[in-house]
């Protein structure tokens, strides 16, 4: 198996120290906040993973540039690790079904990430939204015109629960926790979410820490969550165990 590693602004010793330091933070959410805080300002970069139906998968660690999904991959794998070597093993478990590195096994969708990592994280959307949740069954990876978003990945039926944006009220906000992984529900056929990030609660409000592809940011940044979610279709919430 080929590997490609870019550690960005950190040396391997610094990454070891960072994960060792984070491992003494007992609360999962606080550990995620601490780790994800180290990534603030890292450049947005799309398509950093290598592999498709015609290209053998390469196991990639790229801490120099990341999209919204690889950002949460790295943070969650670091949360479970005390060293860089452990991080490598945990990233394989988080990114791929059964930790088997291949394009077919990669968790291409946010809800794949949940299904295949149920030992580490759980979907709390229904618990938070209660009777306000929306529910829809989709064929993931299948577009309206019957073509696929990702060639070589088998479309699959999945029921998706989400909290409509108008139902993200004060009660839902108060029950969100720092370290929750937030998926922005997508109405589009074949997709579960359009974007992902991490909920961060601070003294002055609640934020979405995410890798923004917007022209004003194009980096890992904290964005005020309530105004961010207002014009989106809905919210899926995954909580670390």
What is the structure's pLDDT at 215?
73
The structural domains of the chain, with segments of one domain joined by +, span 3-116, 121-240
What is the structure's pLDDT at 216?
76
Q: How far is CA 24 from CA 74, 83, 186, 237, in A?
A: 18, 12, 37, 25
What is the structure's pLDDT at 217?
82
What is the structure's pLDDT at 240?
97
d(CA 138, CA 155): 10
pTM exceeds 0.75 for this model: yes
Parallel, antiparallel or unpaired: strands 219-224 and 205-212: antiparallel
Q: Are 62 and 91 in contact (CB under 8 A)?
A: no
CATH number for region 3-116: 1.10.3670.10
Mean pLDDT in each 10-residue stretch from start to end of the chain (241 residues)? 93 97 96 98 96 96 97 98 98 97 96 94 97 96 95 95 97 98 98 98 97 86 96 97 93
What is the structure's pLDDT at 213?
82
207 forms beta bridges with 200, 224
Which listed CATH number (3.40.710.10, 3.40.50.300, 3.30.70.370, 2.30.260.10) goes with 121-240? Answer: 2.30.260.10
What is the structure's pLDDT at 6?
96
């Amino acid at each position: 198996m080929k590997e490609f590693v870019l550690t960005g602004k950190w040396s391997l010793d610094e990454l070891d120290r960072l994960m060792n330091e984070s491992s003494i933070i007992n609360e999962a959410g606080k550990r995620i906040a601490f780790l994800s805080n180290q990534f603030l300002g890292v450049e947005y970069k799309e398509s950093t993973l290598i592999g498709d139906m015609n290209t053998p998968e390469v196991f990639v660690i790229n801490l120099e540039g990341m999209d919204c999904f690889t950002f949460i991959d790295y943070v969650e794998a670091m949360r479970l690790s005390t060293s860089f070597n452990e991080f490598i093993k945990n990233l394989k478990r988080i990114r791929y079904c059964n930790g088997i590195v291949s394009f077919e096994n990669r968790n291409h969708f946010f809800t794949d990430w949940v299904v295949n990592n149920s030992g580490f994280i759980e979907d709390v959307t229904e618990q938070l939204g209660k009777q306000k949740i929306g529910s829809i069954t989709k064929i993931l990876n299948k577009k309206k015109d019957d073509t696929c978003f990702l060639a070589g990945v088998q479309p699959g039926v999945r029921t998706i629960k989400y909290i409509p944006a108008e139902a993200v009220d004060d009660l839902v906000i108060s029950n969100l926790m720092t370290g929750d992984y937030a998926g922005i529900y997508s109405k589009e056929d074949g997709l579960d979410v359009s974007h992902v990030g991490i909920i961060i609660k601070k003294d002055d409000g609640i934020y979405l820490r995410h890798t923004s592809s917007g022209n004003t940011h194009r980096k890992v940044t904290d964005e005020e969550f309530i105004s961010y979610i207002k014009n989106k279709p809905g919210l899926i919430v995954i909580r670390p165990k």
